Amino acid sequence: MNMQLYTELCQRFGIRYPIFLAGMAGGPSTAELVAAVSDAGGLGTLGAAYMEPAAIRQSIQDIRKLTDKPFAVNLFASAATKASDNLDRIGEVQHELNRMRETLGIPQAGCGSADWFEKQFTVLLEEKVPVISTAFGILPEPLMRQAKAANLLVVTMVTTVNEALMAEQAGCDAIVAQGSDAGGHRGTFDLTEHPMGANIGTFSLVPQIVDQVKIPVIAAGGVMDGRGLVASLVLGAQGVQMGTRFLTALESGAHEVYKQALLESTEESTVITLAFSGRPARGIRNAFIKRWDATGLEPLPFPVQNTVTRDIRNAANRQNNPDYMSLWAGQGTRRLTSGQRAKAIVYETIQEALSLCGSSEITDPHE
């Protein structure tokens, strides 16, 4: 068929295979995982949204010790919490969360919500990371100018055609079209119209965005193997972003009980919830989500809800208790594998894709 795995996207980003690692904040994307995906020919992504600036710098240096290939760092480009947001509801929310703390045997925690975004960005600029990717919005214009001046590539995740047009207009080098099949946070910029995110299926979203923008489109949401890669290319994308599939890789920093929950889950296991962070995100429906929903409370605005629930998630991690972790997952988890290295996942995906395209082995397009 007419599909080429080595797309314009590969050329522009200096990668061999059109596979981006999703920017998974909060632990899964270790320096080892990021470097392994890049080293295998894809584009590893450090999910740095929740990391302190100094920790980001350290991780970038760790990645560079492991690979000389390009990689990306992902941040949340969301507006800081507005003064108008109803922060006096923290007491009410903490009261309910204290019941979960009781279950886990941990003390009530205080609340502070740091906004590191500008400092995080400065580290990326100083370290000249090859690619900056963002969720929840586009880099603010002055930062976009600085990134461009430093020759960094900029990628924005979008969930609608309008967001794609905004990202192209702002000068992004590529966009990730995130379908509702995707695990983790919905990338929707403005939740006013769509409080639970704009949830358009990957199958429908990708071609409609491709038809409207000129920059390369990367399909995300339910891409689990070579079939998903080739289907995305057929729908007009130039590459794919895979998150969930790499969560169970050996290099992934996901907790072992989280990996186990993923492997035991099916396409029916996940819901989109506001419970953990205040922003809609897809994860396995566990006790935390059920107990939160039962309170009937409206979550605090992002990122405050994330801050107030953090000690609970941390305690669940220490206690190996998946019931109170955020078990982000997409809708394709039956295709997950256990005990594979990230490199093997990349190669298996490419091998299957080549086979569907009528070739049968991995060959370097540059050789």
Count the site residues for a copy of itself by CB under 8 A: 47
CB of residue 228 to a copy of itself, shortest distance in Å: 7
CB of residue 138 to a copy of itself, shortest distance in Å: 18
Could you tell me which of 333, 153, 166, 173 has the C-alpha nearest to residue 238?
173
349 lines the binding site for a copy of itself (CB under 8 A): no
Tokens of 306: 């994330």
The pairing of beta strand 174-178 with beta strand 184-185: unpaired
Helix, strand, or coil here: 338?
Answer: coil
64 lines the binding site for a copy of itself (CB under 8 A): no
Among 4, 169, 334, 338, the residue binding a copy of itself under the rule CB under 8 A is 334
- Residues contacting 246, CB < 8 A, separation 6+: 21, 22, 24, 28, 33, 37, 252, 342, 345
| Nearer of residues 115 and 211 to a copy of itself, judged by Cβ | 211
216 lines the binding site for a copy of itself (CB under 8 A): no
Query: Mask 265-294, x = binds a copy of itself (CB under 8 A)?
Result: -xxx--------------------------
CB of residue 236 to a copy of itself, shortest distance in Å: 6
164: buried, middle or exposed (CB in 10 Å: 19+, 13-18, 0-12)? buried
Among 31, 34, 235, 350, the residue binding a copy of itself under the rule CB under 8 A is 235
Could you tell me which of 333, 308, 307 has the C-alpha nearest to residue 93?
308
Task: Tell me how long the chain is.
Answer: 367
Could you tell me which of 169, 171, 242, 180 has the C-alpha nearest to residue 205?
180
195 lines the binding site for a copy of itself (CB under 8 A): no
Q: Which stretch binds a copy of itself (CB under 8 A): 51-59, 63-71, 137-145, 226-234?
A: 226-234
The DSSP bridge partners found for residue 239 are 218
CB of residue 30 to a copy of itself, shortest distance in Å: 26
Query: Mask 141-180, x = binds a copy of itself (CB under 8 A)?
Result: -------------------xxx----------------xx
The pairing of beta strand 153-158 with beta strand 174-178: parallel
The answer to whether 55 touches 27, Cβ cutoff 8 Å, is no
228 lines the binding site for a copy of itself (CB under 8 A): yes
- Residues contacting 149, CB < 8 A, separation 6+: none
Residues near a copy of itself (CB under 8 A): 1-3, 160-162, 179-181, 193-194, 198-205, 207-208, 211, 221-225, 227-228, 230-232, 234-236, 266-268, 330-332, 334-335, 355-358
